[in-house]
Structure 1
């Protein structure tokens, strides 16, 4: 609790910075302001449910491998079904699709909360998989809806502001979830997540996104192939996807096994998990705030700062593995969160700036495969490796391997 009180001045400074970010051009649009408010609560729910399910996996099995499995199952469907939902996103009413996917999240969490007294490890894995399937549909819908609420020249501001929202929740919600779990139990945390989805459902009825331009509908798999070809044949998008895949697998995969670091390595329990996740969120919020006020907004290109951030993120993962004390672990996780968000927002903004609305759902569904689906592979691998060699060594191996792959890719890109 003392640590929480010491964090209050820092949070107040971040909130003042957040208020200044709210003055950017995108917030002159009423629809985007409503969308931003609804998403503010919805992303709190996302982080609460993720921390709670991750903690349940560790609490009920004590297995790092199972924590990685549950994290992976909640993300793996994006790798397999995300592109198909991307095609559907470009075909359906985007507002109604958002209502369906947000409602699906509520149903999954409600069923899990009601069944917790009887559910075992297999049931928890099935719940994570169900949430992952709904999320694989939700990601391309969410990434397509915001940009279609504003004029095209404001799309980059929308991407940065939405990332700010997501990462403000990443700072606040995990610490809150850890305290709720410690004081009241996991079921209460899940019911809080359910309640936080309701404002988004209320806001969606007020939104009127921009219609797609008229086009002739092609066969489903032909449109799916169009999205793949556009991403493959656009050098900027191709490089952004490769950078994201490596970083997501190694660095963001490491952030999915924080329960093992919190309790397995430092014996800090659910509150420790909340603090670690909030540290990642704190670093992420700083990056998102800086991006939201326009720093590094370079349009459709990848700046040098992104290459520095991907290498910094890999070094942070190594730091998590070799951290001798709790404070160093918190700092390393915070740096990993900063680098993750800086890279994610910069690369997504570069992709979305000149992306045609008619292809947005398909291309951004592939982005979620690169940015979210591959996290599942990293979580699986790091969790399994931690059971074999320990969490510290597993994180060091992940960070070094990711850094080497990034060096090869950056060198290759510079020569082209």
Structure 2
């Protein structure tokens, strides 16, 4: 009986049919996404032999969020989210298949990857906040934290499986296969979205567009909500200094550990495994709701782990530390996502989650450039340590002053 209760708690959000379809489609597609992430990073290094140029690709992939997140949030609050997600997924499928064709034909160049990464960033600027905002429409507030944790679990299961599969395929067939598999995997998401059914609701009154006014309203709302504001600022710090694994790990593997693509894929899988375990732990705790202890503890734990990575050069120790890093990272981001959504009014959800996405991904260009440039001029391990030190100081200050936040006083 107790086992049955645990299983029901762990997978409570899956009682909603629409979320089951979403869950299945994401599981397939995200494996392809992580395969492409590994393949693209390895391809860039093969073409350029430069960690800095790899950082530029990552920066361009997230740069559009800096300029388009605010208007994207207004669109998400105005148009049906499902329609926006389908459109964005179709665009990303086209981009992945284009890169596969270029790579298979042997004509791929570094500038091709720069352009495709930029367009992918534009599509992601709409897709990411739209998907985050869409979850509550599928499961409601009661199962929101569980749904976010389960969504994170498949994201990180894919993070564990995708890089390992990619590493093996790159060694056997080359990087192009990764891009082909990713392009085809988007069909699972698109099909699942089309199969969803929602109860008929009264037509919503559509107000006239007012990008400037709507953006100001969203920003003012965040400013009046201390928990949302502090959480978004912490997400920004982690996004810039604490989440540069896709830039630093491949360089660390090649230059410090002297290993190949398969070894790189395995280390990224260790990171994904830790994140998966963290997500499943949060799913079990979802009935308790988000807590500042998990939010702040996850961020501080990640910071300390990054510092530890920076002061060793053992492959085995790195694998263990990346498992811990994955666990702490997903704990922090899942708590941040849930906290912000539960504190946000429905009519503003698209705008608030777009700003969350801006800090989560839009500031990544600065993190990528920071990581790529610092790793280029000093040793990669020290870049890990420096990022952990900066984020650790910020989390320490917030932890010491958490009682000043009204919603956290009783925690």
Whether TM exceeds 0.5 here: the answer is yes
* Matching of residue 253 in structure 1 with residue 244 in structure 2: yes
2:108 aligns to what SS in structure 1?
Answer: coil
* Structure 1 residues 308-336: Cα deviation after superposition (integer angstroms, max 9, x where no partner): 22111111112222223101111122211
* Structure 1 residues 155-178: Cα deviation after superposition (integer angstroms, max 9, x where no partner): 222222211121111111111111
Q: In 2, Cα distance between the equivalents of 1:41 and 1:271?
A: 22
1:193, CA displacement in angstroms? 0.7
Q: In 2, Cα distance between the equivalents of 1:186 and 1:22?
A: 40
The 8 Å contact of residues 26 and 32 in structure 1, kept in 2 or not, is answered as yes
Map residues 310-329 of structure 1 onto 2, 5 A cutoff.
Answer: 310-329=299-318
* Structure 1 residues 38-66: Cα deviation after superposition (integer angstroms, max 9, x where no partner): 11112112211111111111121111111
The 8 Å contact of residues 281 and 337 in structure 1, kept in 2 or not, is answered as yes
Q: In 2, Cα distance between the equivalents of 1:296 and 1:265?
A: 43
1:214, CA displacement in angstroms? 4.2
The 8 Å contact of residues 254 and 378 in structure 1, kept in 2 or not, is answered as no
Cα 1:325–1:361 change in 2 (3 A) is same
**Residue 367 of structure 1 corresponds to which residue in structure 2?**
356
Which of 194, 206, 229 is matched with 1:205 structurally?
194
* Matching of residue 35 in structure 1 with residue 22 in structure 2: yes
* Matching of residue 120 in structure 1 with residue 88 in structure 2: no
* Structure 1 residues 89-123: Cα deviation after superposition (integer angstroms, max 9, x where no partner): 11112111111000011011111111222222222
* Matching of residue 63 in structure 1 with residue 53 in structure 2: no
Cα 1:21–1:338 change in 2 (3 A) is farther
Map residues 11-410 of structure 1 onto 2, 5 A cutoff.
Answer: 20=7, 24-116=11-103, 117-209=106-198, 214=205, 216-294=207-285, 297-299=288-290, 302-410=291-399
1:218, CA displacement in angstroms? 5.0
1:344, CA displacement in angstroms? 0.5
TM normalised by structure 1 equals 0.90
Q: In 1, Cα distance between the equivalents of 2:187 and 2:327?
A: 29
* Structure 1 residues 199-228: Cα deviation after superposition (integer angstroms, max 9, x where no partner): 111111112457696463451221122111
Q: Which runs of 4+ in 1 moved over 4 A?
A: 209-215
Cα 1:160–1:214 change in 2 (3 A) is farther
The 8 Å contact of residues 247 and 371 in structure 2, kept in 1 or not, is answered as no
Q: In 2, Cα distance between the equivalents of 1:157 and 1:346?
A: 11
2:143 aligns to what SS in structure 1?
Answer: helix
1:275, CA displacement in angstroms? 1.1
Q: In 2, Cα distance between the equivalents of 1:55 and 1:37?
A: 28
The alignment yields a C-alpha RMSD, in angstroms, of 2.2
1:385, CA displacement in angstroms? 0.6
Q: In 2, Cα distance between the equivalents of 1:133 and 1:307?
A: 31
Q: In 1, Cα distance between the equivalents of 2:400 and 2:208?
A: 41
Q: In 1, Cα distance between the equivalents of 2:12 and 2:343?
A: 18
* Structure 1 residues 117-168: Cα deviation after superposition (integer angstroms, max 9, x where no partner): 2222222222211211111111111112221112332222222221112111
TM normalised by structure 2 equals 0.91
Cα 1:219–1:194 change in 2 (3 A) is same
Q: In 2, Cα distance between the equivalents of 1:23 and 1:317?
A: 29
The 8 Å contact of residues 256 and 313 in structure 2, kept in 1 or not, is answered as no
Name structure 2 gaps, 5 residues minimum.
406-411
1:405, CA displacement in angstroms? 2.4
Cα 1:53–1:22 change in 2 (3 A) is farther
The 8 Å contact of residues 52 and 373 in structure 2, kept in 1 or not, is answered as yes
